[in-house]
Structure 1
Amino acid sequence: MRGTPSFTTALLSVAVVLILLSFILPWQWAHWSMAQQLPYPWLMIAVPFALLSLLSCGWLYIRYRRQQHAFQQHVQSLLHAPEEIMPDSTELLAQDVLALFQRLQAQQTELQQKLEEARLQSQRDSLTTLGNRFAFRHQLSELLASDNRLATTTLMLIRASALQDINSRHGFQAGDQYLQDISRLIRKVIQSRMGAQAYRISGSDIAVLVPGQCEPLAHTMGNELRQELFHYQDVHELDCVAYIGFTQLLPGQSPESILIRADSALAQAQSGEPNSWRMVLKNSDDEDMGESQWRQRLQSMLDNDRILLVVQPARLLKPALPGYNEIFTHFPNESGGVYPASTVFAMLQRLGMSMLFEQKIIEMILDQVAKCDLSGQRWAINLTPASLQQGAFIIWLERVLMRHQHITANLVFELDEHVLEHQLGNGKRLLEMIRRSGARSAISRFGHGYGSFRLLKDIKPDYVKLDPELVRQLKDDNANQQFVRMIIDLAQRLGCHVVAEGVETEEQKQILETMYVDGVQGYLVSKPLPLAEFKGLVSSV
């Protein structure tokens, strides 16, 4: 090919030979002329030969430059459009350029694949293979910034509440396996829902973004996941596996506002029975507070005893029975109202302050009950689910009850049926300690199904508090009446007293009296009253 390095070398070689000949030949001719005694004959040869050599060199140089320029343009055309080179080209340079181009293209493809893998890896949690918090925040921000106002998305937040306990008791490897199992259960629940994505956003929290309205999704997904968690709890003998919170993404709101609302729903779930779910669809002023603000206000309540105790007495239909008075807690706020009790207990659970408040409430109850000049009365104290999960609390409670024997005999500790059903082992230990100390026990919100009878047989409490929902349906539901009658009959055969909660009408009271219930409690009897002002239940309804 013209313009190649081999051709250039040949041109330079010819130029060098011509230059050498322009000197050698005239020199040889000069020697011959002198031998023949010719006057300056060599000038006649040397001058024209030198001029010819110079002209030849100039022509060769110009040709060399032109062909070098043409070669450079040809190389640039090959480099600028290597994809246009025919694979069957016989030109060696074209083949070399094509091979180099193909090699670089393969390296570029491989590098792009590695970069994409690195990008996906940077947005994936290494333990659960779910998305991580960076991917979640990016997706959440995109959804909230969307111009499509018709698109709705639900946020489900799951907290693996047993992680810390498993890590401390069985090691971090067991904790990792527990998180992987939770992730597997979540994938199982969301796999049939188009567009659902799960992310691990902290050590124990997993978030799921699901297209659709919150309320129907919360009921279907919440109950479905809850059943999976209960099964896992039974297999692995845990007190609780996880809690679930739901909220709706509202366009125009900040991600922080959405997360606070979801966290509030999750916190409310933690204040209920194990593996429960809650839904919060809008922010209230109290829910908008961050954790640090809640901690300050709760600590202020604790330090200044800003906890109001109220009592709602039950009317016992058998005169020989001691009076039964259930004590509740209200939490006053700065505006003159009260914080929702469910929100307060949820925040206490989240901030790890449940035990402190439970101790404070019990101490205040013991102090005020000691001041009440009411003989023949029993005082019912509600225990939260957190009390079953704190061994230190049970030890503390036993010591307190033993120190206040004169009051302990008049105390009744209530535990929700749902809580006992799923924490039966811990519940039995707590109730045994209560009986050993001389106090009494009650199962509240009793009667959710035929499993209640088995629980009644295992626990044998002193009191059974019928679920208000059963009382509400008494009038128009004959099957419900038969079910309530069975509960009352079996409980009394086992030596338990039955109190019906939520009695609001005279008709409900009359039906319950025909079933020989031991007592009724509700707005028909009395509204909650401040404990410090309570002087006993009046004789008439």
Structure 2
Amino acid sequence: MTSSLAFYFSYQDTLAGKKDQIRSVVQVSASQVLHLRALKKSQQISEADYLQRLRLLIYSTSYSNGSYIFLMTQEARIYLHPKRPELEGLLINEVPHIKNGEAIAASFKQIAANPEKSQFWKLYLPKPDGGPSLEKLTYAQLLPDSDLIIGTGVYLDDLIPVYINRALSYITITLAVLLAAFATAVLISRNIVQPIIILSGQMKRLSSGDIDQEIRFTHHKDEIGQIAQSLEEFRDHLIENKRLRYMQEHVQFLENFDPVTRLYNRRAIGEALEREIIRNFENQEQVSFLFIRLDLLRNLTIELGDEQRDQILIETANRLRQILSINHRLARIGEGCFGLMLINKPAHINLEDVADSILNTIEQPIQLDNLQIQIGARIGIASYPEDGDQQFELIGRSEIAAKTARKREQGWLYFSQIKGQTAEHKLALWQDLSTAMDQDQFYLVFQPLFDLESNAPLSAETLLRWTHPTLGPISPAVFVPLAEQSGLISRLDHWVLNAVAKQCRNWLDKDIVFPRVAINLSGISFLRNDFEQKLQSIFSQYNVTLEHIELELTEGVLIEDLGRIQEKLKRVRNLGVNISIDDFGTGYSSLSRIKSLPVDHIKIDKSFIDDIDTNPQDLKIVQAIILMAQGLQLHVVAEGVETERQLSILREEQCDVVQGYLLSRPLPVADYEALIDEDLIIEGD
């Protein structure tokens, strides 16, 4: 269709152009002839001169590839014909090979009858060089005041090459336009339509949950790029929302489940046990709790590593699941400890049989790669209401029974079978712990830590003391384990944090410049999901910044769940808190295992310092710890320094910080304030 239109418009354009050309030629030539006639009329030239110059004009006028003009008389007689002079003087219908002479003569007579009107005709005339008559486009007009008609024409077949050339030009232009349009369409498709289709598909996949795809066209600088970037931001929001949902679900999971065995954790089993106690309060139905303690799991962890230890725990948990019934609730409540709660125990089930079945199951060999491991266990049993009416009492007393079973080399033991004043004394203290916190029977003392380079107090370790109203002072070595066993350790840690924040506020109000305050914290409190918020809340209540605080965590806490604790430590340190590893060397870790942990200090346990001046092995251990720690850019604290010789050795080995009775005992608040004001110089042998 486009080609046909191109040909048609080319033909019309060529024809119109030729018409304009021959009209112009005739009009110009006519003016020249009239000029000659005027010269003759004014006798400026003779008749002969006029005829000669007229002939020269007609014969010499040529244009457009040999086209010519001619003169005719009104009666259609050829007057001058530059191409066929032999025809001059003949009537048009007398010219040989003219098929339509009458029609041609009639055309010229029509011009004579209407001299003011020039017109075009299509006549059939032979070419001057012979041949058949061909269609010729002719234009003629009557010269005023004469009987002459001047005209010219063009054979239409001579226009074919021009027509074709123009048609080809139109076609070329048309094709160029079409190609440009096609290229533009392809460009639009590639740069606009196709990206929109692709981005639309990506949006649909995003809405279907495919958030891992990479959004395309984000590098574009146009509107497509803006759309792609917005889609990428939308995808990033979806990813972040998914991550937050996962974290929330993971946090909720960790609040109630152990991440290794997927069993209930200590908190969840304690709450479940509390609910069962309340449910059975009226009818006093028995609820039994079995504390299952695996033997030598720590030793296996040292030999095999955390991963193999976890495999042992998982296999043990899976075996226990298979032998338990619907009325049993199994939990992991410690590093190598499981707890089992029996609900509505049927009368025909014997607790001893359950315990024996558990022990037999645990003692079956465990295949770890090419290694076969066999472990044992001890079980302590406590029951409601005989052994207590609180969940922490049942869990704590069943743990005591399990420990006692191990000492007695028994497989299992009822708590009721334990006799002796020591157990009774502990039971009484359990009851008094909660009351002691409510009545502020606890108080704080501070033992300074000294920087061996500046000889100044670097920090002070906060120590908790308990004066019982009837029993007098109770050692932390007694009441802290009891708090852990009874589930009160978190409350005790909260009391300490609150007391430290309050004391710091008191010093600030007195304008006393004090070094950092180190706080011993249990792993249970530190690993709680809300620990950071609780820490900030307590200290912000007293308007005390956390830069004043250092937390001391035991080595065992940091190693039991290395992956989880790493992120926890980063978040706590970001609050401005320093972190110390307490009692380093007494656990089962090494600096190579904790090198990735974000901590500030390690404290060498007192047991290595006691004989550092007499035992070469202890000295080598201390030297290795200092060298490795300083290589990891950790400060080293030596605790338990009691002699000047010990202090001198530690100074020689470039220990950073020291603590011990030689320098200062734990001090009450007033004495510690006095110490801060003193210019103390530490010297050794």
Aligned to 1:240: 334
Kindly state the Cα deviation for residue 390 of structure 1 after the two structures are TM-superposed.
2.2
Q: Aligned partners of 2:534, 2:387: CA distance in 1, in Å?
A: 39
Which residue does the alignment assign to 2:533?
A: 395
| Contact persistence 1:264–1:287 (CA under 8 A) | no
CA distance in 1, matches of 2:287, 2:619: 48
Question: Equivalent residues in 2 for 1:57-76 (5 A)?
Answer: none
TM-score, normalised on structure 1?
0.50
Report the residue type matching 1:368 in the other structure: Q
* Identical counterparts, % of pairs: 24
Shift in Å, 1:364: 0.6
Does 2:439 match 1:366?
no
DSSP 3-state at the match of 1:442: strand
Describe the SS at the equivalent of 1:529. coil
Q: Please report how far the alpha carbon of residue 286 of structure 1 lies from its aligned counterpart in structure 2 after TM superposition.
A: 7.5
Distance 1:346 1:332 in 2: 17
SS at match of 1:534: helix
Partner in structure 2 of residue 475 of structure 1: 613
Q: Is 1:425 equivalent to 2:563 in the alignment?
A: yes
- What does residue 411 of structure 1 align with? 549
Which residue, 205, 208, 215 being the options, matches 2:290? Answer: 205
Are 2:370 and 1:297 aligned?
Answer: no
Asked if 1:223 is matched to 2:296, the reply is yes
**1-structure distance, mates of 2:495, 2:505:** 15
What amino acid does structure 1 have at the position aligned with 2:296? N
CA distance in 1, matches of 2:631, 2:574: 23
Q: Residue 566 of structure 2 aligns to a residue in which SS?
A: helix
Separation in structure 1 between the aligned mates of residue 497 and residue 402 of structure 2, nearest angstrom: 23
- 1: distance between equivalents of 2:513 and 2:422? 43
Q: C-alpha distance in 2, partners of 1:267/1:504?
A: 37
Alpha carbons 1:506, 1:524 under 8 Å: kept: yes
2:155: which partner in 1?
none
Change (3 A) 1:507 1:449: same
Distance apart, 1:174 and its partner CA: 6.2
CA contact (8 A) 1:465 1:500 kept: yes
C-alpha contact (below 8 Å) 1:401/1:408 kept by paired residues: yes
Q: Quick one: structure 1 residues 442 and 284, their matched pair in 2 at CA, closer, same or farther if it must change by over 3 Å? A: farther
- Kindly provide the amino acid, as one letter, of the partner of residue 346 in structure 1: P
Distance 1:450 1:226 in 2: 8
- Structure 1 counterpart of 2:425: 288
Q: Give the aligned partner of residue 338 of structure 1.
A: 473
Q: Secondary structure at the match of 1:444?
A: strand
Q: 1:354 aligns with which of 459, 472, 489?
A: 489
Q: Decide whether aligned partners of structure 1 residues 392 and 477 sit closer, same or farther in structure 2, where only a CA change above 3 A counts.
A: same
* Aligned residue type for 1:434: V
Change (3 A) 1:168 1:417: closer
Letter in 2 for 1:462: D
Matches within 5 A, 1:127-526: 168-169=256-257, 175=263, 204-206=289-291, 222-223=295-296, 227=300, 234-235=310-311, 240-243=334-337, 265=400, 283-284=420-421, 287-288=424-425, 290=427, 294=429, 296-319=431-454, 323-335=458-470, 337-372=472-507, 374-401=512-539, 406-448=544-586, 451-526=589-664
1:525 deviates by 1.2
RMSD: 4.4
Q: What is the distance in 2 between the residues matched to 1:448 and 1:434?
A: 25
TM-score normalised to structure 2 length:
0.41
Tell me: CA distance 1:402–1:432, structure 2 relative to 1, closer, same or farther (3 Å).
farther
Question: Quick one: structure 1 residues 268 and 462, their matched pair in 2 at CA, closer, same or farther if it must change by over 3 Å?
Answer: farther
2:572 partner letter:
I
Q: Distance in 2 between matches of 1:207 and 1:460?
A: 34
Q: Highest Rg: 1 or 2?
A: 2
Report the alpha carbon displacement of residue 324 of structure 1 after superposing the two structures with TM: 1.5
One-letter code aligned to 2:469: E
1:314 counterpart SS class: strand
Matched AA of 1:433: R
- Distance in 2 (CA, whole Å) between partners of 1:167 and 1:431 is 18
Contact 1:417 1:444 in 2 (8 A): yes
Deviations 1:252-276 (A, max 9, x none): xxx989x99965747999xxxxxxx
3-state SS of 2:441 partner: coil
CA distance in 1, matches of 2:379, 2:601: 37
Using CA pairs under 8 Å that are at least 6 residues apart, name the structure with larger relative contact order, 1 or 2. 1
The alignment partner of 1:308 has SS state of: strand
Alpha-carbon displacement from aligned partner over 1:32-61 (angstroms, at most 9, x marks no partner): xxxxxxxxxxxxxxxxxxxxxxxxxxxxxx
Match of 2:124 in 1: none
Contact residue 583 and residue 605 of structure 2 kept, 8 A:
yes
Change (3 A) 1:382 1:469: same
SS at match of 1:495: coil
> How far did 1:414 drift?
0.4
Report deviation, 1:350.
3.5
Which amino acid counterpart does residue 288 of structure 1 have in structure 2?
A: H
Q: Deviations over 1:210-236 (max 9, x none)?
A: xxxxxxxxxxx9536864897775236
Say which structure is richer in strand. 2
| Letter matched to residue 442 of structure 1 | S
* Residues 1:407 and 1:483: Cα distance change in structure 2 (over 3 Å): same
C-alpha displacement at 1:409, in angstroms?
Answer: 0.7
Task: Provide closer, same or farther for how the CA distance between residues 338 and 483 of structure 1 changes in structure 2, counting only shifts above 3 A.
Answer: same
How far 1:432 moved relative to its partner? 1.6
| Compared CA separation, residues 202 and 488, structure 1 to 2 (3 A) | farther
Contact kept? 1:261, 1:287, Cα under 8 Å: no
Q: 1:332 to 1:260 in 2, by over 3 A?
A: farther
The answer to whether the 8 Å contact 2:601/2:635 transfers is yes
Whether the aligned pair in 2 keeps the contact of 1:465 and 1:501 (CA below 8 Å) is yes
Counterpart secondary structure, 1:379? strand
1:463 touches 1:497 (CA, 8 Å); kept in 2? yes
Matches within 5 A, 1:43-122: none
- Go from structure 1 to structure 2 and tell me whether the alpha carbon gap of 1:517 and 1:360 turns closer, same or farther (over 3 Å shift): same
Counterpart in the other structure of 1:127: none
Residue pair 2:449, 2:457 contacting (<8 A) in 1 also: no
8 Å Cα contact 1:460/1:494 also seen in 2: no
Query: Cα–Cα, structure 1 residues 390 and 227, in superposed 2: closer, same or farther, change >3 Å?
Result: same
State the alpha-carbon separation in 1 of the partners of residues 258 and 564 from structure 2.
19
Q: What are the superposed Cα offsets for residues 384-406 of structure 1, whole Å, 9 maximum, x if unpaired?
A: 12124422334312443566674
**CA shift for structure 1 position 288:** 3.2
Name the residue aligned to 1:79.
none
List gaps (5 residues or longer) in structure 2.
Answer: 1-251, 267-285, 315-331, 339-376, 381-385, 389-393, 405-414
| 1:465 partner SS | strand
Offset of 1:407 from its aligned partner? 3.6
- Residues 247, 261 of structure 1: 8 Å contact kept: no
Total equivalences in the alignment: 324
> What secondary structure does 2:447 align onto?
strand
Q: Following TM superposition, by how much is the alpha carbon of 1:413 offset from its aligned partner in structure 2, in angstroms?
A: 0.3
AA aligned opposite 2:604:
L
Uncovered stretches (5+) of structure 1, i.e. residues with no partner: 1-163, 179-200, 209-220, 249-254, 270-279
| Equivalent-residue separation in structure 2 for 1:268 and 1:368 (angstroms) | 39
